[in-house]
Structure 1
Amino acid sequence: MSNRAANIHRSRIHEDMVQRLAMTKLPGTDRTLFPTIRELLCFAALLGYSEGRRVPLDRSAGTEDVSYQQFERRDAEDLIFLIALADSKDPEILKDGEEGRCAEIFEEYANGGLQVLRDAMLRSGGEYPDRDILELLKKSGYLNIEEAEPDIDGINF
């Protein structure tokens, strides 16, 4: 694709949670759960797609954005197109000029995934978001971990 999509937007409705997941250090480490907001949005878009949660952004609540250049690094751009293709089931979506449509589909699945994460954190109180997300992934069948306290040091997003 020769043209580049516009920046990737997210709803301000989730901004407190986004900042917390991308900025707060995990207990006893120098790491955050998601190294960048880009990784969080990619994770949320995959979760939203997997859960069938495509939710349009409420633009009246305001939006924040991530520069599209951030998605051109480390194959994140490919994920935008992959999700759009999987959703539309139409290879025409990969043609030049459709980048904005692909970005919108990605944004809506990321928004749905952020809602899934928010709901999981609200159910448990949200004190330990890393544990909340692991529990969500286990309950949803995405992870098969039998340990009482999984070691999250080896998990990277």
Structure 2
Amino acid sequence: MTTEVESVDLRVRRPRDREPLIEQLLAENDGVFERKAEVMLFAAALGWARQRREPFEKFVDPIRFNVFQKIHTGEAFIEALAVLNCPGDAQILSDERALERINIFEEYANGGLAVLQGEINASRSQVRDVLVGLVREAANADKEKSSKVPADIRKLITRPDWS
């Protein structure tokens, strides 16, 4: 289901205390991401994988939701995260609960950013190396079928293997 609420009005908040890390993850600095929205999507996936959902109150300029809608599978990922977080609650996809879906996403992204900051601090490696390590770890976990994402959902959100 696509968010039919006026997406211009919807915004995704970024935690104020994580903004330096978000900036560091951008390609123009030490990272690999072109946009802050991409950082948030990666962080939310990491937060979900590590079961880290952290609320926050202070935030910086939010990102318009339509930015996420323009990223391939961005909106679908946000909706899937909400569905996985609220099993058996089909109403989570209703237009009236769009803000709740976004809040779930924001909190998992904040948790993922906390994990990422911890990994960077512990490894004392370059940001790119930490990101590559996390992606490899996730790929290996997926191969071992230890992923918490059900197989049918995983098929929808992963790219096909052309090898």
Q: Please give the alpha-carbon distance, in whole angstroms, between the structure 2 residues aligned to 1:39 and 1:86.
A: 20
Seen in structure 2, the aligned counterparts of structure 1 residues 23 and 133 have a Cα distance that, compared at 3 Å, is closer
Q: After TM superposition, give the deviation of residue 54 of structure 1 in Å.
A: 0.5
Of 18, 23, 40, the match for 1:14: 18
Offset of residue 69 of structure 1: 1.4
Higher alpha-carbon deviation: 73-82 or 45-54:
73-82
The total of aligned residue pairs comes to 134
Shift of 1:77: 1.1
Q: What displacement does 1:70 show?
A: 0.2
Tell me by how many angstroms 1:25 deviates.
4.8
Q: Which runs of 5+ in 2 are unaligned?
A: 141-163
- Alpha carbons of 1:75 and 1:142: their partners in 2 closer, same or farther (altered >3 Å)? closer
Equivalent position SS for 2:61 = strand
Tell me if 1:52 matches 2:51. Answer: yes
Alpha-carbon separation, structure 1, partners of 2:15 and 2:6: 21
Q: Tell whether the 8 Å contact from 2:23 to 2:29 is kept in structure 1 after alignment.
A: no
CA contact (8 A) 1:11 1:64 kept: no
What's the offset of the Cα at 1:80? 1.0
In structure 1, what is the Cα distance between the partners aligned to 2:86 and 2:67?
24
For 1:25 and 1:108, how far apart are their aligned partners in 2?
25
Gaps of 5+ in 1: 27-31, 145-157
Report if aligned partners of 2:92, 2:101 keep a CA contact under 8 Å in 1. Answer: yes
Deviations 1:86-144 (A, max 9, x none): 01112110012110000000000000000011001111225x10102223444xx3134
Q: Detail structure 1 runs of 4+ shifted over 6 Å in the superposition.
A: none
Over the aligned positions, Cα root-mean-square deviation in angstroms equals 1.8
Q: Could you state the TM-score of these two structures normalised by the residue count of structure 2?
A: 0.75
Mapped pair 1:142 → 2:138: yes
- Once the two structures are superposed, the pairs formed by residues 1-157 of structure 1 within 5 Å of their partners are 1-4=3-6, 6-25=10-29, 33-59=32-58, 62-73=59-70, 74-89=72-87, 90-126=89-125, 128-138=126-136, 141-144=137-140
Distance 1:67 1:10 in 2: 11
Identity %: 28
TM-score (norm 1): 0.77
SS at structure 1 position matched to 2:95: coil
For 2:109, what is the secondary structure of its paired residue?
A: helix
Report the 3-state secondary structure (helix = DSSP H, G, I; strand = E; otherwise coil) of the residue aligned with 1:24: coil
Q: Secondary structure at the match of 1:65?
A: strand
